[in-house]
Structures are given as structure tokens and as C-alpha cells.
């Protein structure tokens, strides 16, 4: 997809928005919420090629109605303290839209969100420590569009440590690897395709540190949003269909496991 | 793992066992059930290095109690008509055991089983036709242990057609690709790692054709069982733990998202 | 890269141009040479966003001087009968430009070209037959930009058969799989990254059949050219450099294996 | 392969053996040469299931005659100061044996050996520093046989730093990632298949530090040797052959590019 001012990418930045309400030190760093910082980072880099709105956990339907998702090219997801409060119905809806072709950018503690865990099929556990580690983000795939425009490495002075083993499926692509002062390593920028959709997970970013104000982190998120947007002409649900011999294009309905033989 | 007669691999062949009860033409091909044919194929190749038992949908707990799974090195799964009847509780249990290190071999229509769909995170849909296609199974990775001892290609005279697009995550390894008389193609032998467990999906095999009596198909399933057995010394659940700086080995408990800072 | 009429992609279509000179039946299909057909297919789809020229084996330096390659964003390669006549010096030059970031699209029998074999590190052998097989090209990765705008499957009425095992490194991405009337299968559309460069191999296309006049094949080649163009700002050679502790950005010269310790 | 005392794995440890002759501090660490330390590490773990010999650069034919390679299941390779002295003829010979099915374990500075560079097709460059960094080797794939029996992470008190970007093809599997005191990261344990052969690259190990006496490093190398041994029944060269329609098993000779049509 090659968005323009006339045909901009429609991005929804989803935020849990709880730490900001409850913890003064978080509110001090992100006075308008982390979602506002993430939104402004995307706009800063993509300008009028993108139209960004936000959706919050406490909005009706978490701000993610069927109608809204149908109008969303890429969804970004930040959650942490309230993963369990996200309704299963909304998770199913987002999951379907990803398989149909909506892009998804999962950030930091979103690794344990219901939607990411469902898409991965694993526990998505890791090792962690929040003690002001310095994080270095190294580009492993120098050809990747998500890696353009940032130094090698990106230096983040203060960060939570996320370390291996990260219990995830083998990524389609590893774009970035991170190291921490303590010596840990993490697959911090990775991509997956699921159905017709593309997923980018990027771990830098935390409520306790001003990571979403970091210029390189903002650039990577903007790059990731652009990359995750589908190249396909339309949203489409993968379906199971029968195709007669010699006809490759007119699949027809599945009528149940016991009807194999009568189906033709 | 290198099983011996003294320390054999413990395999459970799980079967839905419905078609065999309801459809006379299936019972004619598999008088003792498909699970019996699959079991005998594994024993034929692995002999006393393996101890195979069966478990059926209609058994209490589907034959898959916590105690039994804890004693199972590799589980094979065939289901089709009654995927929906498998209890979510058992699916969760099997899922956890796979992440902990139990091997899983998913056969044919098991692509749409609850356990496979949960592990994949996608729709696992495909195109199909049951019209006596000839299937050819080509080895793509000649170094893979699962591909040893079978011709290139394996010829299966009569088969159901399964064709792309198969909505699955990118496999860790593609061992086999199949073609069908009608011209379709399918990633028919693929591997995944999830958590500490290994998964092999193999599509040849059907209730309407005597595929589980085919000598090469039986060999591949036996190879897959051997491959899926863990090399790890013990079952282990991936967990999320905090590690203090400089201490790599004594992770301690996660106390919730709001306790990051006080945790130490 | 997002080429425009003001800043078009510079593409060189390299052709061996021997069959067309020696075999009347080839000349009948491709009166201006296969390179002309490939060129027009790219122009047909990319229009003024691309500036395509051709280079031929019999040109001085095979048309691939240092200066020309430095001005080339993407090189396409078709060779067959005269792989051995390509000078090693030119192969080294093209190889270096690929590692530096030039895109490369290798077509059909180019699988056995010196440049492809050198980049792959394997024998690049396969099975084949030129007997009017029908080829079906199935899209395996529906999210891939190279797969956009073509039917699933692409039908090519007459083709040479290329079959597995294709002795290549595991592809970074499998975009297309092909089947043939005879039942064979082939990884027909695959991608690799090497150094800072991107490589797309696409097997449909032959001197004996009018494959480069096929609308979908032309579309795929145009898509491949666009995809292979680098997203990086400039050509850059990967180098081995020493970096002092704490300095991530100013690598300095390697002075030989015996100078490790004195180097600082 | 499952070697036994009766049917042991035949391993050749190849050593350049120059630093040990020229640099007293290296000779002090490795009085019998690095090859002797590597050999003893493999024997320590595999016992009588393996028969290890050594071959040196200064041996006739570098100790790697056609006859010897034909009797070698797995070759390990350590070189550094004298890569250029390895004859191209021997490199071609080793390359062919790898494609035919011989296992290859490339160690540390062997990343720049002729044989590894030829198999990879890239520059194999990296960033480095020899300043007593501590290296931590983290297991990324806990299911991999090569990762069994070692702590997570392995701690190596003193090491040369090897850092990204490492200009290699995307690995088939990343088993280990390393971090260094200075903050760098490296894909330190990776696998590739090439032809019928399996390759394991493992970066820990250096002439200036006693890394080949480290118990965990020795264990990984032994694991790698065992893994790289072929599961195939015999050495076999990938060849390009024609197969007539309907005959999948009796390929016949390729007679040159201009004989496509008359070949049948």
C-alpha cells in the first residue's frame, strides 16, 4: 500500500490507559496518555499520508466496534495492567479482522494481550526486570523497510528489560535484536503473517520510562504501521471451500464433515 | 531422544472413531478403526522402541486425563466429524502439555481440530475435494529425519484433495509438498515448535481411502512420532519471571502488572 | 522504495540472446529477443515509474560495467545456453552490487547462472522436462506484494517442467508453488536477502514457449522488480570492522588476523 | 544418525594450527593446538560413539584428500590467520562433500573461511573487538538438540566480541544468541542445510582465550557434531536430470542447453 494525502492510511491507536490514571509518575511522563504519544509519533513521520485516531479500553466496545475495525487499515495495541478486562468478543472480532487483512502492531507489554496470545498460540512469556537498564536495539535485517532511518544500534537510556526465552512461534522475520545493561537479549522487532494480515511486534516502550518520546522508537513504530498495511485490494476472510476437478475458481460451500461424498 | 526397548517412547494415538461407527464403507476399510491402523503403522516401524496405546473421543475425558498426558511422550491426533465435541477443558490440557514439551502429530482433517487451530492462531482453512485424486508427496528437505526411508515421490493412488491456500503460520520446516491429479498443491508435511514442544502436521490420510494402510504413509507417521519426541530431560512450563541484574538463574514470581517497581 | 515519474526505478534487463539467434522457433516467438518481451512486460505494468534498458551477453563487458551497475536499481537475469561464457569478473561485480543493495530478479533457467549459483552456495540443480506441460502457479503467501494482481492459480498452458528437488537454500519467503501436468511440484517464486540486497527468483518463462507474453507472468515480474528495489538510501558494502567498547558507530580498519591484540 | 561404539561417527577436526606455532600466549593456552582441545571436547561428550581424528593446514592436501572426506561423517573447521592459504581445489572438494551429505561444523573465525563464504554466498563480515568481553550465550530454541545440557545462559568470562550485523543468509534455525559486556549482540549458534548436508556455525571460541576448554562450549560443539551427521543412508550428489512424463524415478542425462527438444 502506498498511502497519500488523498488516500491516507487509517490507523487506530488502542490504549489501555490505566497506568496513566492511577500512577502519578506515569501521568507525569505521558500527561495525555501513552496512546497520545504513540499517535503523535506516527503522525510525526507519516504526516498527511495517515489519519490516526485513538480507542481506549473504557470506551464502549473498547472503541473497537465491527464498523470501526472495518474502517481501520492498521491497529496498534498497548495493554498491560488490564489485559483480562478486554472482552473475549472484541478479541474475536479483532482476530477475525487480522486474518481478513487488517494490519496489527503490538507494542511492549502487549505481548501478553489476549489478541497477541491468541494469534501466536503460545504462552508469550519472557523474563523481565524494571530497573533502568539501557537497551540497545540492533538491526539484524538491513533490507527491511521497518529498519530504515534509524541508527544501528538505537540507544534507549532507560528501559524495562525483556529477555529470552520469549515463548513465541519462530518469527517470519527478525528485524531487531535488543540487548540490556544486565546482559540479556530479546527478539525485540519481529514480524508474522496470519491469514491475510501482517503483524509487527516491537518491544521497546514502557509506562515507567519516556520511551514513546524517543525519536527512533517513534520512527520504528511509524515504519511498522506502514509495513503492516495490507497490499491486498480488500478485506477477505479465509474460508474452507470445495473445488471440483478442473475448476480452480468457483469454490462452493462446505456442508459438514459427513457430506464429503454427496457434496458433488 | 533415542528410545530403546528398555526406555521406549510412550505414544498415544487419539482417534475420533465416529466415521467407522456410522459409515459402513469406512468400517470396511478400517474394521478396527483408523486409530488401530495408525497404531499398527507406528509399531511396524519402531517395534519395541515404542509403546503405543489409543484414546478415543468417547472415552471418559476423551482418554486424555492429566495423569495420562503426563505419561505421554507423543500424541497423534485424528479428528473430523466431531471436532466440536472435544471439550475445551481437554483442549487446554493438551495445549499446556505441548507447550511443556509433549510431541504432537496432527493428521489429515485434524487441521481443523480445536487443538491445532489453537496452536496455530489462524483459521486453518484450505480447499478440498474428495474425488479419488492421485496424490504425490514430494520431499522438499532431503536432510530431514522425517523424510528418510520413503520414495521421492510417495504415490498415493486414491486420496482426498487438500489444496492451497492453507491458512497456517509459515511452517518452521516444509518437509513435503503434495500435488493432486487435479493440479492442486499442498504443504502436506510441515513442522512447528511451540513452547518446549514439537509439532508435525501430515495431511495424507482419510476415512474414505485406505491411506493408513499405505506403507510409505505409515513410515512417515512413525518418523514423525520419533522426531516429535522431546530431547529435553523433563516437561517444563514456560513462565514469566523477574530476574535481578547479574542473576541469570533464579527468576522469581510475577505479582501483577502494578507491582513492577516494588517487586524487588 | 516508492518510484515516481520524477524519480523512476532504473532497471536493466539482462539477456543471453543466443537461442533467439540460433533457433528459428524461438525467434518466431520472440522476434526482438526474450529481453525485449521481459522489458515490455515491466513497462506495461510500471509505466513511467520505471526506466528499463537492456544489456546482452555479446555487449562489451556483457553490458554490465561498473558504472552501469552503479546506476542500476534492479537487474533481471535470463541465461541458459551460455552460462559458461559469462566472465567471472562480471559475476564478481554483479555479486558485489547485490551485496551492496542492488535488487536482482533471476528468471527461469537463470537458476544455473554463475551469479545465482554463487549467491546460493548450492548446486541449484532440479528435475526438468520440456514437453508442453501445463503449469499452475499457486500463491502461498497472499500478503506478499509480489503476489498482488494475479489469479490463484495462474494458468500457463504450455511450459517446460521444473521439479523438486530444487537444490537451493531454504528461501526467506515462498510466494508461489507450481504444479505441472505430469504431477511435479516446484518452488517457483521465492525470495532471498543477501547482504543489503534483495533477490527474487521466478521460474515461469522459457525460450520454447511464449511465457513472457503471458499477462500474469509479466505482472509478477513487474511486481518482483518493484519489490527487489532497495529501501535503503544508498549502496553500501558490508565490511568487517573493529569497534571499541562503548563506541557503536565508528568502526575502524581491520589489519589482518595477527593484529587482533595490538589493533587498539 | 544414532552412532554406537560398533558404528561410531567419524569426525575430522580441521585446524589451521598457525597461531599456536607463532604466538607464545596462544601456545600457552593450547599447548597441543586448538584442534587437540576441540577433539578432546568432542570425545569427552560422545565417548566411544565417535572416532575423532585431526587434519591440519600444513598436512599434504591440508589433510583433506578425496578418500579421507569420503570416510568423514562430520568435519569441523577452525581457521583464522591463513584462510587464503587453503587451496581452492580442497575448498571445492569439501563443498561437494557437504552438498553430498557430509556434516560441517564451522567454528568462530571460520566465518571468514573460503568454505563457509562459498556455502553462504555473502561476505560473512561482522563487527569485532578483542578486549576481554564477557560473552553470554542464550538459548533461543529450547527444543533444539544442540541446546541440550547447557545452562541458559552459558557464561564465558573472557571472549572476543563478534557483533551484528553479521552478513549471512537468514539461518534455517537460530539456536543461540550472544551478548557481550560492551552491549553487542550476535547470532552465535545457527544452522543451515545446503544440498544433502547440514551445517552448524558456532561463534564462541578464540585463540586468545581458553574458550575451547570451557565445559559448556565443548558440550555445544559435541551436540553440533552429532546433529550435523546425516540421517541419509549414503552420500549423494544433487544432479540435474530429465524425467519423462509419468516416470518419477528414472531421470536421465542432461545433454546441454541446446538439446531440450530432441532429448526424449
Note whether residue D224 is domain-resident. Answer: yes
Residue D264: band (very low, low, confident or very high) from pLDDT cuts 50, 70, 90: very low
pLDDT tier for residue B51 given thresholds of 50, 70 and 90: very high
Q: How far is C186 from chain A (nearest CA, A)?
A: 19
Is residue B4 predicted with pLDDT exceeding 80? yes
Q: Do D163 and C243 touch (CB under 8 A)?
A: yes
C-beta atoms of C165 and B142 within 8 A: yes
For residue D206, is it within any domain? yes
Give the minimum alpha-carbon distance from C165 to chain B in angstroms, rounded to a whole number: 6
Q: Is residue C202 part of a domain?
A: yes
Cβ within 8 Å of C, D 47-66? none
Give the span between the Cα atoms of C194 and C202, in whole angstroms: 17
Residues 94-123 on B with a CB inside 8 Å of A are 99, 109, 112, 118-123
Average pLDDT, chain A: 95
How far is Cα C160 from Cα C179, in angstroms, rounded to an integer?
11
pLDDT of residue D254: 75
What chain C residue is nearest to B179 in terms of C-alpha separation?
A: C183
Q: Say yes or no: D21 contacts chain C, CB-CB below 8 A.
A: no
Q: Which of residues 226-245 of A touch C (CB under 8 A)?
A: 230-233
Residue A110 falls inside a structural domain: yes
pLDDT of C226: 98
Q: What is the pLDDT of residues D169-212, one digit of tens each?
A: 999 999 999 999 999 999 999 999 999 999 999 999 989 999 99
Determine, yes or no, domain membership for C35: yes
CA distances C190 to A23, A156, B38, C51, Å, are 50, 36, 35, 25
pLDDT > 60? residue C261 = no
Whole-model pTM: value is 0.97
Q: How confident is the model at residue A35 (pLDDT cuts 50, 70, 90)?
A: very high
Query: Does D129 contact C248 at a Cβ distance shorter than 8 Å?
Result: no
The CA distance from A263 to C190, in Å, is 36
What φ, ψ does residue A158 adopt, rounded to 5°?
Answer: -135, 125
Is residue C108 very low, low, confident or very high in pLDDT (cuts 50, 70, 90)?
very high
The alpha-carbon gap from B26 to the nearest alpha carbon of chain A, in Å, equals: 12
Beta strands in chain D (DSSP E): 9-15, 50-56, 74-78, 103-107, 127-139, 154-163, 173-180, 185-194, 197-202, 241-242
Q: Which residues contact B120 (CB under 8 A, 6 or more apart)?
A: A121, B168, B169, B192
Which residue matches cell numbers 517464486? Answer: C189
- By the 10 Å C-beta count (0-12 exposed, 13-18 middle, 19+ buried), A8 is classed as middle
* pLDDT at D263 (0 to 100): 40
**Does A165 lie at the interface with D, CB-CB under 8 angstroms?**
yes
Q: In a mutagenesis test of the C interface, which of A142, A195, A198, A234 is the best target, namely the one with the most C β-carbons within 10 Å?
A: A142
pLDDT digits (tens, 9 = 90+) for B129-170: 999 999 999 999 999 999 999 999 999 999 999 999 999 999
The verdict on a CB contact (< 8 Å) between D185 and A138 is: yes
What is residue B5's predicted lDDT score, i.e. its pLDDT? 95
Which residue in A has a C-alpha nearest to residue C173's C-alpha?
Answer: A172
Domain that holds residue A53: 9-238
The domain total for chain C is 1
What ipTM was reported for this prediction? 0.96
The answer to whether position A258 is within a domain reads: no
- What are the tens digits of pLDDT across the range D29-79? 999 999 999 999 999 999 999 999 999 999 999 999 999 999 999 999 999
- Judge: B167–A22 Cβ closer than 8 Å, yes or no: no
* Residues in B touching C151 (Cβ below 8 Å): none
- Alpha helices in chain C, H assignment, sequence order: 19-22, 24-29, 34-46, 66-70, 88-100, 114-120, 215-228
Q: Per the CB < 8 Å rule, is D131 touching C22?
A: no
Task: Look at residue B260 in the predicted model and tell me its pLDDT.
Answer: 54
Give the mean pLDDT of C97-109: 98
Do the Cβ atoms of C118 and D121 come within 8 Å?
yes
The runs of H, that is alpha helices, within chain B are 19-22, 24-29, 34-46, 66-70, 88-100, 114-120, 215-228
* C232 vs A148, A230, A233: nearest CB: A148
Q: Residue A254: its pLDDT value, please?
A: 75
The secondary element (H helix, E strand) that includes residue C105 is strand C103-107
Under 8 Å CB pairs connecting chains A and D tally to 54
The residue assigned the cell 489478541 is A115
Structural domain contains residue A255:
no
Q: Residue D33 burial by CB count (10 A; 0-12/13-18/19+): exposed, middle or buried? A: buried
Residue of chain B nearest C172, judged by CA positions: B170
Q: Look up the CATH number of the domain holding residue D186.
A: 3.40.50.880
Confidence of residue C262 (pLDDT cuts 50, 70, 90): very low
Nearest CB partner across the interface for A183, out of D136, D142, D152: D136
Counting one residue from A and one from C, how many pairs have CB atoms under 8 Å apart? 45
- Give residue for cell 509479466: C218
Query: What gap in Å lies between CA B95 and CA B86, rounded to an integer?
Result: 13
D260 pLDDT above the threshold of 60? no
pLDDT for B259 equals: 63
Tell me the shortest Cα–Cα distance from C92 to chain B, in angstroms: 30
Interface size A-B, in CB pairs within 8 Å, comes to 142
Task: Confirm whether A249 is domain-assigned.
Answer: no
Q: What is the pLDDT of residues D92-134, one digit of tens each?
A: 999 999 999 999 999 999 999 999 999 999 999 999 999 999 9
User: Are C195 and D123 in contact (CB < 8 Å)?
Assistant: yes
Amino acid at each position: 500500500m502506498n498511502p497519500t494525502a488523498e488516500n491516507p492510511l487509517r490507523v487506530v491507536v488502542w490504549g489501555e490507559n490505566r497506568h496513566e490514571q492511577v500512577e502519578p509518575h506515569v501521568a507525569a511522563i505521558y500527561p495525555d496518555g501513552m496512546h497520545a504519544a504513540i499517535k503523535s509519533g506516527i503522525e510525526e513521520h507519516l504526516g498527511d499520508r495517515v489519519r490516526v485516531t485513538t480507542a481506549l479500553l473504557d470506551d464502549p466496545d473498547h472503541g473497537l466496534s465491527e464498523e470501526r475495525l472495518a474502517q481501520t487499515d492498521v491497529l496498534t495495541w498497548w495493554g498491560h495492567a488490564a489485559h483480562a478486562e478486554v472482552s473475549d468478543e472484541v478479541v474475536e472480532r479483532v482476530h477475525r479482522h487480522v486474518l481478513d487483512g487488517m494490519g496489527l502492531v503490538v507494542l511492549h507489554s502487549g505481548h501478553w494481550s489476549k489478541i497477541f496470545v491468541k494469534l501466536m498460540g503460545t504462552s508469550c512469556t519472557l523474563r523481565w526486570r524494571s530497573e533502568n537498564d539501557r537497551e540497545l536495539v540492533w538491526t539484524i535485517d538491513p533490507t527491511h523497510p521497518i529498519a530504515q532511518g534509524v541508527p544501528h544500534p538505537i540507544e534507549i537510556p532507560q528501559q524495562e528489560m525483556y529477555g529470552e526465552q520469549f515463548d513465541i512461534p519462530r518469527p517470519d522475520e527478525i528485524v531487531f535484536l535488543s540487548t540490556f545493561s544486565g546482559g540479556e537479549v530479546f527478539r525485540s522487532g519481529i514480524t508474522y503473517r496470519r491469514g491475510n494480515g501482517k503483524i509487527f511486534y516491537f518491544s521497546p516502550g514502557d509506562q515507567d520510562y519516556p520511551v514513546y518520546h524517543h525519536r527512533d522508537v517513534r520512527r520504528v513504530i511509524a515504519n511498522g504501521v506502514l509495513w503492516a498495511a495490507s497490499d491486498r485490494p480488500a478485506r477477505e476472510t479465509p474460508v474452507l471451500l470445495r473445488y471440483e476437478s478442473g475448476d480452480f475458481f468457483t469454490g462452493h460451500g462446505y456442508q459438514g464433515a459427513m457430506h464429503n461424498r454427496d457434496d458433488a
